[in-house]
Structure 1
Amino acid sequence: MTAHRIDFRPAPSVPKTPSEDMTLLSLPILWAAAGLYIVWRLISSHQAERRFRNFATSHGCEPVYQAQDQKWPWGLDRMYKVLTARKRGMDPLDDYFAWPLYEHPTLQRTGLGGAQNIETIEPANVKAILATKFDDWVIGERRHRALRPCQGHNIFTSDGAFWQHSRALLRPQFARELVNDLEATEKATRTLFEAFGPVDGEGWTELQDVKPMLLRFVLDTATSFLFGESVESQRALMTSKTGDHDDLDPDTGRLAGSNEFAEAFDESSYYMVTRIRLQQLYFLSNTKHFKKAIAIFKTLPNRIVNQRLQQQKQQKQHEEEQGTPSEPKQKRRFDLLSSLMQHTKDETELRDQTLGVLFASRDTTSSLILWTLLLLGQHPSIYQKLRRIVTETFPSPPSHQEEAESLLDFTSLKSCRYIQHVLNETLRLYQSVPLNSRVAVRDTILPVGGGRDGTKPIAIRKGQQVLWNIYAMHRRKDLWGDDALEFIPERWEDPRRSRMVGDGFAYTPFSAGPRICLGQQYALTEAGYWLVRFVQRYDAIQLDPESAAATAAAKHGRVKKTIGLTLAPMEVRLRVHEAGL
């Protein structure tokens, strides 16, 4: 047998390649670089903190109160409660956002990633953000990311040069003489009353939720202003139910009048505000349901913009072939889309700008009308006083639509003080946008909120977010009296209250300063016109006794709300009595 000898000598070494040698040599360099970077960041952070403290001290700033209603890191427990409030029968505004600020009008709250966000209901701070220190603040990238999937790039989702460009483009369309053209509003009002349905033997309409009808009413008037002709969504839905023949455009009217479109509109708004509340985790809301709602919602403006561009292209082609201008289709004098098309042919910009205005005009005006109707239903004596004043001030509705403009216009509506008081008081209690925010672009100062008594200035860091709660500010008893939660239009007869509308920042339902809502007068005129016609036709409102809006608690702000980008009642179930029957 042959013996095997085991060789214990080490195997010959394999020489290292140049690349392996470089890797080994670079590791210490990488570690050293990482260490230096960390040291640099620590030193920079320390220096920045020292500069900020010196900045705060030099302006007499003191610390702001830290909210105590959060137990989990980054306030995740509170975020969860806010996001699930509606499912649990809670009210995000009343139960989470408003009440801490009644005790501490300015406070600091920890957000995701440890961000220190400021909340305030101090008019002086709102004035600084919106006016006196306007250049220190922007909408911010977080809000841009939250809104752009639905609204695109427009005046509401931009800052800086593009915002200035957008505002200059849109401002002329909301000049006073434009909102005086109320022919479309008169037509839509008549159709709305028809949609309420016939009255019974005692003169009452059926008990129903009128919110969907009022949303279609506002959509019809808004599209008339934006596109030169109404989509006639109210009429489209009525004829689809009866099976009657109509000459409406099936690609726009029936789409706009469908429940699917209305639901997509509301869902888009709800998801956008959810994305804002999720802060840096906004992407968690990118669900299939959200994407479907946006796709449905965008279909209408996309279709109208495409049609208008195609019509313009065909008209230009006809002029080139014939050598003479073609006669344009007769339409209203004022048309936002046509005006925008004089400045750009970019389909995306046209769609995004009109989309933003459509969103704002539909939600802002409908919110005001819905809350006004609900509050008047809760307060019959105020409704009767309003009806008496309207009957004495305005002539009866015209028998022909052509007469409408000569009877009701901006001047006559504005001159009726009690109508303005009713609308102002509605907006005080239920403004369209209850919460708003800005992000500081540099270290800056807010005049109050610091110290134990909250009267000292507070320093705001670059990149820090400040949210002001308009809903809570409009309900402060120290500003509005012990009856601040009550619906009392007569409070606006006090000259001091009237000054709040003009110069003060305690009342900002349409924001203020350079970014004040361009459509403010449009919304007030539309709502005022509708209100006059409504009280002329109906002499009584009766809320559904089974609805939450009819309870005593609802009169103090506990009515069920939908809180998307705008604030609206969950439903408005009522019946109305036709005058003279």
Structure 2
Amino acid sequence: MDSFAITSFPNPTTLPATAVAALLILLLIMKRLLFHSSKKRNYPPVAGTIFHMLFNLHRISEHQTSLSRKYKTFRILTPFGNYVFTVDPDNVEYILKTNFSNYGKGEINYQVMSDFLGDGIFAVDADKWRQQRKIASFEFSTKVLKDYSSRAFKNYALKLTEIISKVASSNQMMDIQDLLMKFSLDSIFKIGFGVELGVLSGLQEGKAFSKAFDEASCQIVYRLVDIFWKVKRFLNIGSESKMKKNIQLLDDFVYSVMNRKREQLAEQGQEVMEKEDILSRFLLEKEKSYSNIDDKYLRDIILNFMIAGRDTTAGTLSWFFYMLCKHPHVQDKIAREVQTVIKTQDSEGKAEIDSFSDYLTEEAINSMQYLHAALTETLRLYPAVPLDGKCCFSDDTLPDGFDVNKGDLVHYQPYPMGRMKFLWGDDVDDFRPERWLNNEGIFVPQSPFKFTAFQAGPRICLGKEFAYRQMKIVAATLLYFFKFQLWDSSREVKIRTMLTLQIDRGLHLRAMHR
């Protein structure tokens, strides 16, 4: 799959900044530093400037981890405000729960994300956020959506299994991340729109949508460190020109699907049309419950749902299979657990690919405690969203005693937090699912302010159980039928800089039938 990875970003040395502009930016940073020093407040230590972030953008997660091991809370200077970063759970709880009303997406984040995510739940605050939170809370709690999504996950997991079976029989190399992204996009699109996107089947229209979606996600991250992005967008040049084209492609595709749904609604009538996918539910309920939601707002809601349900789970599953290849004893233990659970459902214990999903009942999925622990351990080390920033709405003091100013972007850091010894012990770098299990082998959760993969407080991820169910269905299915190895164990695996944590240039594996 073509990618818009960090290697596609402009080299910092070729950015369209003159020497004079760079000097003015440095003077603004120095002026801000001196101004803050004169106010006699207890600011976090300075760990660098936005230029340091830009030069380390290709390894930003590792860079932030290194700084966090030196300072639990620190700041990065920018011309227009501070970027504050913390790995202190007390600070995280304060930002996400205790003083929740003082920390939100803010205008800076909204400007960066709005043309891609619009007024969706990940880009807005206040009334728009509360409305979407209420809608999402209701939709995710309905049995109709739960049953419909489980069927979709199982059906596409079956298609994925059939593809991998052919690859295993011919001993071919496969990029499992690419396959998982296609699986996830197909299934989330089906749940969101009730439409077959056909990415796994190789349909060109679906591939174009997927590529535009990924490239837009990369550009959002780049905007956070590119102080010239608004100028580029105004002039319609460089990466912003490509961003505009990708957004147009996404919009055209989504609105086309919405129009098709309306035509179905007109032809079939409300009494006949299925109300299982999210778009259909919105369209059918619009007049009664969601009268203030227009097409643009509906587009934003569903695209936000897609980035939450597609990128995060597919990325996590990719890292999960990477860790299983690095730790084959864990892979074998999960496979044995799945086999044991399936054998209790099927006395012969010889489920075939086309009938396997019948044995993945809700009870069976919930009983896979070690699999749940291994997925959670993957999220500790490779959280789906490695960095999350909130805007400080008024001057404040964090629990660790450091002051932050109105307008500062305050970030808690799931990726570095999963690598802090003071949080997880001396074996912090070890992949050990057992750390999540008690003596009876039952999963025991940790504080969401320590394990922040699903946020916490009022913004805690409503799709958490939805995501676990999707990942467990896929993982259990694939590990029941296949054993996986790295195709080239000497190849270094690197992180791709995006909104979500993905493997740069894919994960190439060998699959073998069990």
* Coarse TM-score class (shorter-chain normalised): 0.7 to 0.9
Amino acid at match of 1:123: P
Root mean square deviation of aligned Cα: 2.9
Does structure 1 residue 288 correspond to structure 2 residue 288? no
User: Post-superposition shift, 1:226?
Assistant: 1.1
Q: Distance in 2 between matches of 1:160 and 1:222?
A: 27
Match of 1:394 among 342, 358, 362: 342
Aligned to 1:339: 281
Does structure 1 residue 576 correspond to structure 2 residue 511? yes
2:121 and 2:133 in contact (8 A); partners too: yes
Q: Distance in 2 between matches of 1:175 and 1:411?
A: 18
SS in structure 1 of the partner of residue 56 of structure 2: helix
In 2 relative to 1, CA 176–312 (structure 1 residues): closer, same or farther, beyond 3 Å? closer
Does structure 1 residue 183 correspond to structure 2 residue 117? no
Per-residue CA deviations over 1:52-111 (Å, capped at 9, x if unaligned) read 86xx6xxxxx442222xx4xxxx253143034x3xxxxx2211x2220110111112211
User: Post-superposition shift, 1:444?
Assistant: 2.1
User: Post-superposition shift, 1:308?
Assistant: 1.4
In 2 relative to 1, CA 141–370 (structure 1 residues): closer, same or farther, beyond 3 Å? same
Amino acid at match of 1:481: G
Aligned to 1:454: none
Per-residue CA deviations over 1:377-404 (Å, capped at 9, x if unaligned) read 1111111111111111224585586883
Does structure 1 residue 442 correspond to structure 2 residue 398? no
Aligned to 1:209: 175
Match of 1:408 among 331, 354, 360: 360
Aligned to 1:92: 60
Match of 1:528 among 460, 472, 493: 472
Amino acid at match of 1:143: N
Match of 1:255 among 205, 223, 238: 205
Aligned to 1:123: 89
Aligned to 2:484: 541
1:413 and 1:529 in contact (8 A); partners too: yes
Aligned to 1:81: 55
Superposition pairs of residues 542-561 of structure 1, within 5 angstroms: 542-545=485-488, 548-549=491-492, 559-561=493-495
Which runs of at least 4 in structure 1 moved beyond 4 Å after TM superposition? Answer: 48-53, 279-283, 396-403, 497-500
Q: Distance in 1 between matches of 2:43 and 2:246?
A: 44
Match of 2:160 among 192, 214, 235: 192
Does structure 1 residue 266 correspond to structure 2 residue 218? no
In 2 relative to 1, CA 228–283 (structure 1 residues): closer, same or farther, beyond 3 Å? same
Amino acid at match of 1:542: Q
1:197 and 1:205 in contact (8 A); partners too: no
Superposition pairs of residues 18-33 of structure 1, within 5 angstroms: none
Aligned to 1:431: 383
User: Post-superposition shift, 1:191?
Assistant: 1.0
Amino acid at match of 1:81: F
Percent of pairs identical after alignment? Answer: 27
Match of 1:505 among 429, 449, 455: 449
Aligned to 1:31: none
1:138 and 1:439 in contact (8 A); partners too: yes
Q: Distance in 1 between matches of 2:350 and 2:315?
A: 25
User: Post-superposition shift, 1:372?
Assistant: 0.8
In 2 relative to 1, CA 530–161 (structure 1 residues): closer, same or farther, beyond 3 Å? same
Aligned to 2:25: none
In 2 relative to 1, CA 498–480 (structure 1 residues): closer, same or farther, beyond 3 Å? farther
User: Post-superposition shift, 1:311?
Assistant: 3.0
Does structure 1 residue 66 correspond to structure 2 residue 77? no
Match of 2:315 among 367, 380, 397: 367
Match of 1:563 among 488, 497, 503: 497
Per-residue CA deviations over 1:312-365 (Å, capped at 9, x if unaligned) read 3455xxxxxxxxx67524x4x532112222124621111111111112211011
Aligned to 1:18: none
Q: Distance in 1 between matches of 2:368 and 2:220?
A: 37
Q: Distance in 2 between matches of 1:334 and 1:172?
A: 14
1:433 and 1:565 in contact (8 A); partners too: yes
Aligned to 1:309: 262
Amino acid at match of 1:568: Q
Amino acid at match of 2:210: A
Q: Distance in 2 between matches of 1:168 and 1:52?
A: 42
In 2 relative to 1, CA 52–154 (structure 1 residues): closer, same or farther, beyond 3 Å? farther
1:147 and 1:272 in contact (8 A); partners too: yes
Match of 1:168 among 121, 130, 134: 134
Aligned to 2:26: none
Does structure 1 residue 110 correspond to structure 2 residue 74? no
Q: Distance in 2 between matches of 1:208 and 1:403?
A: 23
Amino acid at match of 1:179: K
5+ unaligned residues in a row in structure 2: which ranges?
Answer: 1-31, 344-348
Aligned to 1:36: none
1:275 and 1:283 in contact (8 A); partners too: no
Superposition pairs of residues 38-53 of structure 1, within 5 angstroms: none
Q: Distance in 1 between matches of 2:89 and 2:350?
A: 41
State the TM-score, normalized to the length of structure 1.
Answer: 0.73
Amino acid at match of 1:543: L
2:189 and 2:306 in contact (8 A); partners too: yes
Aligned to 2:12: none
Aligned to 2:3: none
In 2 relative to 1, CA 267–220 (structure 1 residues): closer, same or farther, beyond 3 Å? same
2:161 and 2:477 in contact (8 A); partners too: no
1:154 and 1:356 in contact (8 A); partners too: yes
User: Post-superposition shift, 1:210?
Assistant: 2.3
Aligned to 2:253: 300
Does structure 1 residue 348 correspond to structure 2 residue 278? no
